[in-house]
Amino acid sequence: MENKNAKRDIIRTLEENASSFTAMSDEIWAKPELAWKEFIASRLQADFLEREGFSITWDLADVATAFVAEWGEGKPIIGFIGEYDALPGLSQKNQPVEEPVVEGAPGHGCGHNLLGAGMVAGAWAVKKWLESSGTRGTVRYYGCPAEEHGAAKVFMAREGVFDDLDAALNYHPADCNSPSKGSCVGVNSIYFRFHGRTSHAGGSPEKGRSALDGVELMNVGVNYLREHVKDDVRIHYTITKGGDAPNIVPALAEVFYYVRAAQPDYLQEVTDRVRDVAKGATLMTGTTVEEIYESVCSSVLSNHYLADLQYQAMELVGPIEFSDEEIAYAQKINDAFPGTDSDYIDEMIERYKPPSEIVAILDNYRDKPLIGENFPALDEGIVEHGSTDVGDLSWVTPVSMLSTTCFTTGSPGHSWGNVATSVHSIGHKGMMHAAKITAVTAVDLFTEPEHLRKIRQEFEQKTGPSGYRCPLPEHVKPPRYEPEEEAAS
């Protein structure tokens, strides 16, 4: 009963102080920053937590916008994981009709303004409770940049900044409320830069060696490779440089690849085969190829015990109640995208194959653009084909990725529709829902050691005797920017 009262106090405290965190989230939304350059967002969060008594350490893993805020002492050590980078080209006004604030400018199409501020709120609430109750332990908030492009958590994991955590709590804005028992694939992000020799394409083509030919033949070879890899593999590319004029044999051409796979060893095997294709293209074209490593991240290991614990917290917190105005706003967004509200429910049922009692609940949302209900983990055994650097975190310490409703059912990931709800009361409610759930879960982790014992036991079984092997080559360093460079650009 004592724990339940403490949890209710935390929920009430977060509700009473929600405006501080929605204001933080909205300021980050209004000033979207791309990977590695999140100077406003990181400083806003760190300054708030420092005023609230947290100690701040900057430049984690030599990343200028990465920091950790810590309060308390001793074990257990529980981490709240935040992100705050935006996406390019997704500028959007605070309205349910597509219209950029600034054409081509970035925007928060993945809701990272909500993600970071929500986890700040959760860590802050837990600090308040630890302080008032005299409970021993340490709470940390990790400000993690560049999830969308660059995977800063991999650099942070390589430097050991998560090593002493007993567990980590995080969430991601989504279109329903549920903890996760599923996985995401790992990814290697690599530029292949081909070098050839220029000549006049019409007058003396025999003297040229086309770097673009190298790129195109590499792509042809990789497309044949697709037939001979496992089902969970995804390979995508885009040509980033292809020459300047048709009558000049290009001496420089470049292609950017993402190679994805669920198992770390197989990801490496497929990546090596892609490298072999690139080498073959150089032999066919008389060119050379240079490899420029962008980033890498590991597949996600979801901790099922922690997911179940988060669902217990969700049951205490209750569902999200959306107003008629919010539903109407969401419906306008849904109407702008293909399909119907019912299509989304059909896709969920087909993908997750939930038990009949969950299907009955989902059926109630066939004509609604927002889902406020809480669900247990629906994705056990499902491997999503996107990637996240939370994967590397999950190989270092136990983690379960919580999802809460911040987006409409019809708005695709990385879309203007998500930007529109990330600054709306819809997103605010989903953000505070996540803060409450993770903070309530943390109370159990701090007060009942048996939970952490079982969480750690599952974690060690899944990681095996070899544990975490950072996939990032030692020579690869994070890019380094300074605030004045960003302002000048």
Tens of pLDDT, residue by residue over 149-168, are 879 999 999 999 999 999 99
- DSSP annotation of 67 reads E
**How far apart are alpha carbons 235 and 222 in whole angstroms?**
8
pLDDT of residue 308: 98
List, for residues 372-381, the tens digit of each pLDDT value: 999 999 999 9
Q: 484: pLDDT confidence band, cut at 50, 70 and 90?
A: low
pTM of the complete model: 0.92
186-296: in CATH 3.30.70.360: yes
Q: Is 110 helix (H, G, I), strand (E, B) or coil?
A: coil
First to last CA, the chain: 56
List, for residues 71-109, the tens digit of each pLDDT value: 999 999 999 999 999 999 999 999 999 999 999 999 999
pLDDT of residue 487: 43
pLDDT of residue 75: 97
Q: 1: pLDDT confidence band, cut at 50, 70 and 90?
A: low
Query: Per residue in 48-86, is it b (16+ CB within 10 Å) or e — as a string?
Result: bbeeeebeeeeebbebbbbbbbbbbeeebbbbbbbbbbb
DSSP code string of 376-414: ----TT-EESS--THHHHHHHS-EEEEEEE-S-SSPPTT
Show the CA angle centred on residue 24, arms to residues 22 and 26, nearest 5°: 65
Write out the two tokens for 73. 């002492």
The one-letter amino acid code at 289 reads V
pLDDT of residue 489: 41
Rounded to an integer, the average pLDDT of 267-272 is 96
Phi, psi of 17 (to 5 degrees): -110, 15
- DSSP annotation of 227 reads G
Q: Is 168 helix (H, G, I), strand (E, B) or coil?
A: strand
List, for residues 133-142, the tens digit of each pLDDT value: 999 999 999 9
Rounded to an integer, the average pLDDT of 355-364 is 94
Answer with the residue of higher pLDDT: 473 or 20. Answer: 20
Q: Is the pLDDT of residue 55 over 90?
A: yes
Note whether 40 and 143 are within 8 A (CB): no
Write out the two tokens for 292. 């420029």
Note whether 452 and 446 are within 8 A (CB): no
What is the fold, at CATH topology level, of the domain defined by 2-184+299-463?
A: Aminopeptidase (3.40.630)
Q: Is the Cα dihedral 292, 298, 299, 302 positive or negative?
A: negative
Map out the domains of the chain as residue ranges: 2-184+299-463, 186-296
Phi-psi region at 243: left, alpha or beta (left = phi > 0; alpha = psi -120 to 50): left
